[in-house]
Amino acid sequence: MSAKGAQAGSIGVIGAGAWGTALAQALANAARERGDEGAQVLLWAREPGLAARINETRRNDIYLPQAELSPRVRATSEMADMAGLEVLLAVVPAQFLGNVLADLPAGQRDIVLCAKGIEAGSGRLMAEVAAAAAPGARLAVLSGPTFAHEVAGGLPTAVTLACSGGQEQWDRLAPMIASHAFRPYYSDDVIGAEIGGAVKNVLAIACGVVEGLGLGQNARAALIARGYAEMLRFGLARGARAETLSGLCGLGDLVLTCSSTSSRNFSLGLALGQGRSATEALSGKATVAEGAATAPVLAEIAARDGVDMPIVAAVTRVLAGELPAAAAVETILSRPLRAEQEYAP
Ligand SMILES: NC(=O)c1ccc[n+]([C@@H]2O[C@H](COP(=O)([O-])OP(=O)(O)OC[C@H]3O[C@@H](n4cnc5c(N)ncnc54)[C@H](O)[C@@H]3O)[C@@H](O)[C@H]2O)c1
Ligand SMILES: O=P(O)(O)OC[C@H](O)CO
């Protein structure tokens, strides 16, 4: 069954957090640049009243208040409205993706996964979650260095668009997503794109901890490089390709997120390094720091599969309150000396 009454080139975004809203704006910019006069972007918001306020004020007053949205962006609170669209970007946080997609009426469509995380409990990556919740969908993953406020403001960046349907799917999706300032690069390594985004969030927490403890910029750079080694080790063990992880969705995003208090994950780590608990640092926040939910499940999978991820393990213990931040750093610094490159065959 194809998406009922689907209009050619119709596109929507599920999830009106900061990133969903910024992506809706980027898609509207792409439509304007290609001269597609009538094109609209439908944005689904779950919060009561938010869709109506976006339509009235052109602003998402909860998650991205600084951006004025294009008139091409139209918001809805009805999931049924998304059913007839050909392409959907799924931008709800990793832990909620399965439940939200299960509410989507069945249909054959492209779903572009934009959350960066691993599902707690099941350990599933986003494409596995989506394949179960929305059977028949053609899946792709969009991931890279993309602070929402910068993308919404039209500043340039580039992302990996990993297409499970290969070149044919890319040919369909890229023209709808690409604009002068928002450049997708083709990949068919879906697992690599998912792992890059999920793991970098945990490593950004670690970099925040280093900053919070005042350990200096050398330590942060060393942590990024050793964290990247963990990402690579985990990715290779799960079938990702090394070149994907060295690209935009891996190293590119890792460098961004590990270097800025604009990152919610880095900021969470900063608070932990300054001696606050994860509960304190996260309480009362409407916004998500995906690494907090991903760290424990990632550490568990890595331990189960014999993939050495000491930084991820240390972050997990600090988040759980099992270890003060400074003691966690000690566990890393006191590890036996070893060869720099050690990956699974
Ligand atoms: N913000 C960014 O700059 C950015 C950039 C790239 C990727 N991402 C990723 O995009 C995803 C969404 O993040 P965001 O920044 O848009 O979110 P956000 O922090 O701005 O907002 C939280 C989102 O969670 C949703 N939510 C809360 N409880 C929910 C529930 N029970 N069921 C369903 N949805 C619920 C809210 O509706 C809202 O959309 C995350 O995986 C994040 O890692 C974010
Ligand atoms: O604010 P963060 O830490 O969720 O990072 C946002 C994006 O993932 C950066 O690419």
ipTM: 0.99
C-alpha to C-alpha distance for 192 and 92, rounded to whole angstroms? 20
**Alpha helices in 63-138, H assignment, sequence order:** 97-102, 126-133
**Ligand 1 pocket, residue 50 CB under 6 Å:** no
Q: Considering the chain, what percentage of its residues have pLDDT values greater than 70?
A: 97
Neighbours of 197 (CB within 10 A): 32
Does the annotation flag 261 for ligand binding?
Answer: no
Dump pLDDT digits (tens) for 251-286. 999 999 999 999 999 999 999 999 999 999 999 999
Which amino acid belongs to residue 122? Answer: S
Whether residue 18 contacts residue 124, with contact meaning beta carbons closer than 8 Å, is answered with no
- pLDDT band for 4, please (50, 70, 90 cuts): low
Name the CA dihedral angle for 186, 188, 192, 197, rounded to a multiple of 10 degrees: 40
Provide mean pLDDT across the span 242-254.
Answer: 98
**Ligand 1 pocket, residue 262 CB under 6 Å:** no
Residue 10 has phi, psi (to 5 degrees) of -80, 140
**Ligand 1 pocket, residue 19 CB under 6 Å:** yes
**Coil vs helix vs strand at 119:** coil
Q: Residue 1 pLDDT > 60, yes or no?
A: no
Can you read off the two tokens belonging to residue 113? Answer: 């996964």
- pLDDT band for 88, please (50, 70, 90 cuts): very high
User: Taking the chain, what is the end-to-end CA distance rounded to the nearest angstrom?
Assistant: 42
C-alpha to C-alpha distance for 264 and 260, rounded to whole angstroms? 9
Provide mean pLDDT across the span 192-203.
Answer: 98
Percent of the chain that is helix, strand, coil (3-state, to 5):
50, 15, 35
- pLDDT band for 343, please (50, 70, 90 cuts): low
Residue 345 is predicted with a pLDDT of 45
- pLDDT band for 3, please (50, 70, 90 cuts): low
Residue 142, beta-bridge partner list: 161
Q: Which residues 6+ apart lie within 8 Å of 185 measured at CB?
A: 158, 159, 160, 161, 247, 248
**Ligand 1 pocket, residue 93 CB under 6 Å:** yes
Nearest CA to ligand 2 atom 1: 263
Residue 37 is predicted with a pLDDT of 87
Residue 50 is predicted with a pLDDT of 98
Residue 112 is predicted with a pLDDT of 98
Whether residue 80 contacts residue 56, with contact meaning beta carbons closer than 8 Å, is answered with no
Residue 5 is predicted with a pLDDT of 56
C-alpha to C-alpha distance for 66 and 63, rounded to whole angstroms? 9
Ligand 1 center from residue 286 Cα (angstroms)? 9
Does the annotation flag 19 for ligand binding?
Answer: yes
Sign of CA dihedral 97, 103, 106, 107: negative
Residue 48 is predicted with a pLDDT of 87
C-alpha to C-alpha distance for 256 and 265, rounded to whole angstroms? 11
Mean pLDDT of the chain: 96
Whether residue 237 contacts residue 333, with contact meaning beta carbons closer than 8 Å, is answered with no
Dump pLDDT digits (tens) for 36-56. 989 999 999 999 899 999 999
Ligand 1 center from residue 61 Cα (angstroms)? 14
Give the catalytic positions in this structure. Answer: 200
Provide mean pLDDT across the span 223-247.
Answer: 98
Provide mean pLDDT across the span 178-207.
Answer: 98
Q: Which residues 6+ apart lie within 8 Å of 225 measured at CB?
A: none
Residue 14, beta-bridge partner list: 44, 90
Q: Residue 194 pLDDT > 90, yes or no?
A: yes
Does the annotation flag 200 for ligand binding?
Answer: yes
- Go through the domains of the chain in sequence order and give each one's CATH number: 11-188 (3.40.50.720), 198-333 (1.10.1040.10)
Report pTM. Answer: 0.97
In a mutational test of the pocket of ligand 2, which residue from 263, 266, 272, 315 has the highest number of ligand atoms less than 8 Å from its CB?
Answer: 263
- pLDDT band for 2, please (50, 70, 90 cuts): very low
